[in-house]
Amino acid sequence: MTKLSVNINKIATLRNSRGGNNPDVLKTALDIERFGAEGITVHPRPDERHIRYSDVRELKMHLTTEFNIEGNPLEKAFIKLVLDTRPTQVTLVPDTEGQLTSDHGWDTLTYRDYLIDTISMFKEHGIRTSIFVDADVKMIEGAKETGTDRIELYTESYAAQYPKNKEQAIQPFIAAANKANELGIGLNAGHDLNLENLQFFSQKINGLLEVSIGHALVCDAIYYGLENTVQLYKRKLS
């Protein structure tokens, strides 16, 4: 079954908006694990507007499921954080400075040499690597050349088109997934996946190992409660 990794950035955003430690990011992450999620994802950014670097270090000491750290490896502080904490997985994302949220994948052809060097560094330290890519077969082929263990398909376009024509929306992702499977690259996915579109996506994508979901899940938890929401998402993946 596809693993559910919950991105807790929005929990940290809520905490930071008021100061103090409510909600408690660590307690929330441990509860999410207890409620059945198979992983926790964080995406620390240089301005620490949600997850702080100190959160990442504390989480690493206590989490018992897979820990996935996302971020742009152009930031030296990010590289140091990952090497210091040694998460289960590092997901490399080509964010620009001050970017609100991730909105594109790597050009794996243009940045081939840079990605090769960066990925090999993390792998030398025993950290599984994944790179954020668009559903483009050429970018998948380029990803293979970087030596990455996995790719994470950027699913915003699928989510946006799903209400209009879900069959059309899924086609580029099926092609990308098939190419990844053919090349022996592990397959993750994330961005704007939710209770409405997740099940169809997971049923159509062969070899889907993990989805990372944050914003939609936290929003749903306001209505359904956190424990129930984690279980609702897991059922969509079963």
**CA–CA gap between residue 68 and residue 87 (Å, rounded):** 6
- Our answer to whether residue 70 is catalytic in this structure is yes
Which residue among the candidates 33, 66, 70, 210 is catalytic per the annotation? 70
**CA–CA gap between residue 172 and residue 180 (Å, rounded):** 12
Which residue among the candidates 43, 50, 152, 210 is catalytic per the annotation? 43
What's the Cα-to-Cα distance from 59 to each of 6, 20, 25, 102, 217, rounded to whole Å?
13, 17, 9, 22, 20
Alpha helices of 149-225 — where are they, by DSSP H?
A: 156-161, 166-183, 198-204, 215-224
Which residue among the candidates 66, 152, 191, 210 is catalytic per the annotation? 191
Is the separation of the CB atoms in 237 and 202 below 8 Å?
A: yes
User: Would you say how long the chain is, in residues?
Assistant: 238
Active site residues: 43, 70, 191
